[in-house]
Structure 1
Amino acid sequence: MVDTGVYREAFRSADIPMLIADTNFAFRDINDAGLDFLGYEYDEIIGEPVGLIAGNEESYYEIIEHMLDEETWSGEFMVRRTDDRVVYGNGFATPIVIEGDVQGFLAFFLDTTKQRQYENVSEVLSRLLRHDLRNELNVVYGYTQQVASRIDDERALEELQLVQDKVLDIVHKSERARDLRDLLERSHDRSNRPVRLDVILQKKIVDATIEFPSAEFEFESFPKVEVIADDLLGEAIECLLENAVTHNDKETPQVEVSLERADGDVYIRVADNGPGVPEEQRDLIFGREEYDQLHHGTGISLFFADNVISSYNGDLWVEDDDEGAVFCICLEEDRPALN
Structure 2
Amino acid sequence: MEDPDPELYREAFRSADIPMLIADTNFAFRDINDAGLEFLGYDYDDIVGESVGLIAADEEIYYEIVEQMIAGETWSGEFMARRKDQQVVYGQGFASPMVVDGDVEGFLAFFVDTTKQRRYENASEVLNRLLRHDLRNELNVVYGYTQQVASRIDDEQALEELDLVQEKVLEIVHKSERARDLREHLERSHDVSNHPVRLDVVLNNKIVDAMIEFPDAEFQFGSFPEVEVIGDDLLGEAIECLLENAVMHNDKETPRVEVSADRDGGFVIVRVADNGPGVPEEHRDLIFGREEYDQLHHGTGISLFFADNVVSSYNGTIWVEDREDGDGAVFCVRLQEQSTVDD
**What range is the shorter-chain TM-score in?**
0.5 to 0.7
Shift of 1:288: 2.3
1:1-339 map, 5 Å: 15-16=64-65, 31=72, 154-155=159-160, 157-175=162-180, 178=183, 182=187, 186=190, 190-290=192-292, 297-317=299-319, 318-320=321-323, 321-335=325-339
> Normalization by structure 1: what TM-score?
0.54
Q: Which has the larger radius of gyration?
A: 1
CA contact (8 A) 1:266 1:330 kept: yes
Shift of 1:264: 1.8
CA contact (8 A) 1:275 1:323 kept: yes
Shift of 1:242: 0.5
Q: Equivalents in 2 of 1:302, 1:338: separation in Å?
A: 30
Give per-residue Cα distances to partners, 1:105-137, cap 9 Å, x unaligned. xxx999xxxxxxx9xx98x969979xx98xx99
| AA in 2 matched with 1:333 | E
> Normalization by structure 2: what TM-score?
0.54
Shift of 1:195: 0.4
In structure 2, the CA distance between the partners of 1:323 and 1:194, relative to structure 1 (3 Å rule), is same
In structure 2, the CA distance between the partners of 1:248 and 1:192, relative to structure 1 (3 Å rule), is same
CA contact (8 A) 1:290 1:297 kept: no
In structure 2, the CA distance between the partners of 1:268 and 1:90, relative to structure 1 (3 Å rule), is closer
Where do 5+ consecutive residues of structure 2 fail to align? 1-22, 28-61, 78-91, 102-107, 111-117, 147-152
Q: Equivalents in 2 of 1:313, 1:212: separation in Å?
A: 31
Aligned to 1:42: none
CA contact (8 A) 2:200 2:227 kept: yes
CA contact (8 A) 1:267 1:328 kept: yes
Aligned to 1:53: none
In structure 2, the CA distance between the partners of 1:18 and 1:180, relative to structure 1 (3 Å rule), is farther
State the aligned residue count. Answer: 249
Shift of 1:231: 1.0
Shift of 1:297: 4.1
**Equivalent residue of 1:335, what SS?**
helix
| AA in 2 matched with 1:278 | P
Q: Equivalents in 2 of 1:7, 1:337: separation in Å?
A: 30
Give per-residue Cα distances to partners, 1:83-125, cap 9 Å, x unaligned. xxxxxx9989999897xxxxxxxxx999xxxxxxx9xx98x96
| AA in 2 matched with 1:209 | M
| AA in 1 matched with 2:333 | I
In structure 2, the CA distance between the partners of 1:322 and 1:190, relative to structure 1 (3 Å rule), is same
Moved more, 236-245 or 263-272: 263-272
Q: Equivalents in 2 of 1:194, 1:94: separation in Å?
A: 38
CA contact (8 A) 1:319 1:328 kept: no
Q: What is the aligned-residue identity percentage?
A: 52
Shift of 1:299: 0.7
In structure 2, the CA distance between the partners of 1:190 and 1:17, relative to structure 1 (3 Å rule), is farther
CA RMSD of aligned residues (A): 5.3
**Equivalent residue of 2:282, what SS?**
helix
Shift of 1:309: 1.3
Shift of 1:164: 2.4
Q: Equivalents in 2 of 1:309, 1:165: separation in Å?
A: 29
Q: Equivalents in 1 of 2:296, 2:313: separation in Å?
A: 27
Where do 5+ consecutive residues of structure 1 fail to align? 1-5, 20-28, 35-74, 77-88, 99-107, 111-117
| AA in 2 matched with 1:319 | D
Q: Equivalents in 2 of 1:203, 1:173: separation in Å?
A: 19
Q: Equivalents in 1 of 2:98, 2:283: separation in Å?
A: 57
In structure 2, the CA distance between the partners of 1:92 and 1:223, relative to structure 1 (3 Å rule), is closer
